[in-house]
């Protein structure tokens, strides 16, 4: 998955100045400033895309608002909160989604995680309570209103990924869905955001019922995953259909949904090393429902 980068990720906030060797993350119109070193293809899921990030020393003019973000494997990453940054030769803004399967893995994780922080900083430049311009906290990752003393911390939206399964005379089966209105409508698992006052287990039951009209039982936690594309912490569950397995599709959200046997699973996610959904679908295709 996207967070499995083989290097230590340290998100402890440190108030410090950027040095020449530190990486710079700058975002504009859902794109990140990068140098693409290898093109695998135009598709967001194409293999072979490789890129690099600018370092402070690469920039002709140092950004005026560099904020420490995190460290990966000892390398430090800073967010440039300036509206504009002069791009060095060879660098351009590429859509974060286009970089989704690019290498190296640690820089991809940095770009995606940094984009979530960047949105948080930019969305809170004014106080939501009194409208006064905010300031950055001096010693921790917080945004402070100097007028009314309101403090804002990064927000994370919990959501679930639900692998709904059953076993019949033909073997194990799983529900796969495809969303409406997506340019790349890959087969996926039932998923959704947790509502206020709702335990994660109830989110699973509600989302499965809303999207495909099924009751479920025997919920089992699988894994969690930070999914900064949507500011989400995803929690994966395996569960079993309870009662009638007839699917009723919510066409306002889904294009289609149906049961698949292990030998019927589409192979479009065999190279998906990024998402929890992809890992769970491949787990089922190769090994069935985990014990």
Q: Per-residue pLDDT tens for 145-189? A: 999 999 999 989 999 999 999 999 999 999 999 998 876 678 999
pLDDT at 235 over 60: yes
Residue 179 tokens read as: 């969303």
Place of tokens 């194409």: 46
DSSP 133-194: BPEE-SSSS-EE-TTT--EE----EEEEEEEEEEEETTEEEEEEEEETT-SS---B-EEEEP
pTM: 0.91
**Radius of gyration in angstroms for the set of CA atoms belonging to the chain, rounded to a whole number:** 21
Using alpha carbons, select from 1, 43, 290, 287 the residue that is nearest to residue 186: 43
Distance CA 230, CA 126 (A): 22
Distance CA 285, CA 30 (A): 34
Query: pLDDT tens, 62-106?
Result: 999 999 999 999 999 999 999 999 999 999 999 998 888 899 999
DSSP 171-186: EEEEEEEEETT-SS--
Q: What is the pLDDT of residue 159?
A: 97
Distance CA 85, CA 156 (A): 28
Q: Are residues 150 and 128 in contact, defined by beta-carbon separation less than 8 angstroms?
A: yes
- Residue 263 CB contacts under 8 Å (≥ 6 apart), including other chains: none
């Amino acid at each position: 998955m996207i967070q499995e980068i083989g290097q230590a990720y340290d998100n402890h906030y440190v108030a410090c100045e950027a040095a020449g060797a530190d990486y710079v993350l700058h975002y504009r119109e859902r794109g990140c400033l990068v140098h693409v070193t290898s093109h695998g293809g135009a598709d967001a899921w194409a293999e072979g895309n490789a890129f690099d990030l600018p370092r402070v020393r690469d920039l002709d003019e140092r950004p005026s608002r560099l904020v420490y973000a995190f460290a990966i494997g000892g390398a430090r990453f800073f967010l440039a909160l300036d509206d504009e940054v002069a791009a060095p030769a060879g660098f351009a803004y590429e859509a974060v989604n286009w970089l989704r399967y690019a290498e190296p893995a640690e820089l991809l994780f940095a770009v995606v995680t940094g984009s979530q922080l960047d949105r948080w900083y930019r969305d809170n430049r004014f106080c939501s309570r009194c409208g006064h311009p905010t300031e950055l906290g001096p010693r921790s990752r917080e945004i402070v209103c100097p007028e009314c003393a309101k403090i804002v911390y990064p927000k994370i939206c919990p959501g679930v990924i639900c692998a709904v399964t059953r076993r019949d005379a033909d073997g194990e089966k799983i529900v796969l869905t495809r969303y409406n209105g997506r340019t790349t409508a890959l087969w996926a698992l039932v998923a959704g955001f947790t509502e206020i006052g709702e335990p994660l287990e109830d989110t699973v039951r509600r989302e499965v019922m809303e999207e495909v009209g099924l009751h479920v039982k025997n919920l089992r936690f699988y894994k969690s995953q930070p999914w900064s594309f949507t500011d989400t912490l995803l929690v994966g569950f395996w569960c079993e259909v309870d009662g009638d397995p007839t699917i009723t599709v919510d066409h306002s959200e889904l294009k289609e949904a149906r049961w698949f046997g292990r030998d019927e699973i589409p192979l479009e996610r065999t190279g998906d090393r990024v998402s929890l959904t992809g890992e769970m679908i491949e787990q089922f295709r190769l090994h069935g429902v985990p014990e």
